[in-house]
Amino acid sequence: METADLSQHISRRFNEDLERVRAQVLNMGGFVEQQLAKAVSALVEGDSTLGEAVARDDFQVNKMEVSIDEECSRILATRAPAAGDLRLIVAIIKAITDLERMGDECEKIGYIASRLAAQERPADKYREVKHLGRVVQNLVHDSLDAFARMDPEAALRVARQDRLVDEEYEAIQRQSITFMMEDPRAIRRVIDVMWVVRALERIGDHAKNICEYVIFMVHGKDVRHVKLEDVETELRKRGSQA
């Protein structure tokens, strides 16, 4: 009887460990979401102070990554997780790396926004960048939501949206080249804008990575280098066999 009680106690504590670290990941993701929203707003509104604040606060993202990584290492050493629990820990370690890199891209946007705030804003007030930023923000939010619910079908839908980010990124790049050819005086500002949209595109890629980790967590299948169409077909087969 005592042995059974001990087993239940250990299992309960293990589950608490896993839930705690998952909550920490989502907290980190929420902070990165805020950083992204502020960075884009700083650029669009020409708010130098906000841009500097975003860049300055990146250290908090780094601290969260280190803390979660240490917690995962502790769980691996003391709990020896297997099967789905082990996949969860591996996925978390990978996800926080992507979130930290998102934070780095937000920091970059913040610095550029602060610099551009001192210059005359274009007539369109960075309309295309604002729209791309909104698309990427939704992508990040939805990827974290899929992670929270461990929903591989939702993760696949979100990952597919990364193509829209890539298309808008390429369109803005082409438009930027045209602007520089028409007005050489705007070259410096346009190059900064190109760096911003590149950062947004990279954030979209990291959000897609998180979606791929969700599929790995649930199904144990590494889909990082597999076409999304093939992943969708595989999930359908698994669903019909369940």
In whole numbers, what is the pLDDT of the chain averaged over residues?
88
Question: Which of the listed ranges 16-20, 107-111, 169-173, 227-231 does the model predict with the highest average pLDDT?
Answer: 107-111
Domain of 203, CATH number, reads: 1.20.58.220
State the pTM of this model.
0.88
Selected residue with higher pLDDT from 154 and 122: 154
> What are the angstrom distances between the C-alpha of 183 and each of 117, 123, 176, 180, 187?
20, 14, 11, 5, 7
- With a CB cutoff of 8 Å and minimum separation 6, the contacts of 71 are 17, 20, 21, 24
**pLDDT value, residue 3:** 42
Q: Read off the pLDDT band of 234 (50, 70, 90).
A: low
**pLDDT value, residue 30:** 97
Domain count along the chain: 1
The pLDDT tens digits for 129-158 are 999 999 999 999 999 999 999 999 999 999
Instruction: Supply the range of the domain harboring residue 83.
Output: 2-241
Q: Which two structure tokens, joined as six digits, stand for 241?
A: 């066999």
pLDDT at 229 over 80: no
The pLDDT tens digits for 8-46 are 445 778 888 889 999 999 999 999 999 999 999 999 999
Selected residue with higher pLDDT from 152 and 223: 152
**pLDDT value, residue 39:** 97
Mean pLDDT of 89-94: 94
> What are the angstrom distances between the C-alpha of 101 and each of 204, 209, 211?
11, 12, 15
- With a CB cutoff of 8 Å and minimum separation 6, the contacts of 180 are 186, 187, 190, 191
